[in-house]
Amino acid sequence: MFKILKSWWQKKRQDQQRVEKWKADFEALNGRPVKFKELGEYYHDIKNGNSAPDLNTRSPAKQDKQTSARALADWEDNLTVIWAGKTATIEFTYTNRDKKKTRRKVDPQELCVDQRNRLILVGFCHVRGEKRTFNERSISTMIKVGSRRYDNLYEWAEEVLEIDVSPLFDFS
């Protein structure tokens, strides 16, 4: 009887240690505490003799999307707003990371500076139907406002928004 009780106790302790390790790994990977439902599913797997779920079984693409979304949110939180308001819709061609060019129509909402002193336009994109951020270096054509064209985001900011952006940047 003592051996059975000892064996049961050891198994229970091992299960608890596995759960604690899984909880710590889960929190490290996902950046949030484990939900009770997820923990219950894990316990159910252990009770039925199944091995612990592999936290890395999610597809790499899904992990990359979550990591990218978190990094983007952190980056957006660190933007410094130098102008906020409403102005006329602007048009330009934007080149994404994959070098794909798309024509964008945007209602500007904010003009920001990131940690690397790059000018960032934040606004509602008519093409995507949502609020988006645009790096000035990825705007590959002149900025069109009605029938007027501006060479770059700096010129547009100075003439339309009446903001002197030259003190923010070293143009030399």
Is the Cβ–Cβ distance between 140 and 94 less than 8 Å?
A: yes
pTM for this predicted structure: 0.59
- Detail the DSSP E strand segments found in 1-98: 80-84, 90-95
Question: 46 or 9, which is more confident?
Answer: 9
Q: What is the pLDDT of residue 129?
A: 92
Question: What pLDDT does residue 29 have?
Answer: 67
Task: Give the chain's mean pLDDT.
Answer: 76
Q: What is the mean pLDDT of residues 115-125?
A: 89
Q: What's the pLDDT at 48?
A: 56
Question: Which is more confident, 13 or 44?
Answer: 13
- Mean pLDDT comparison of 1-15, 23-37, 156-170, highest-scoring range: 156-170
Q: Pick the more confident residue, 155 or 40.
A: 155
- Pick the more confident residue, 73 or 133: 133
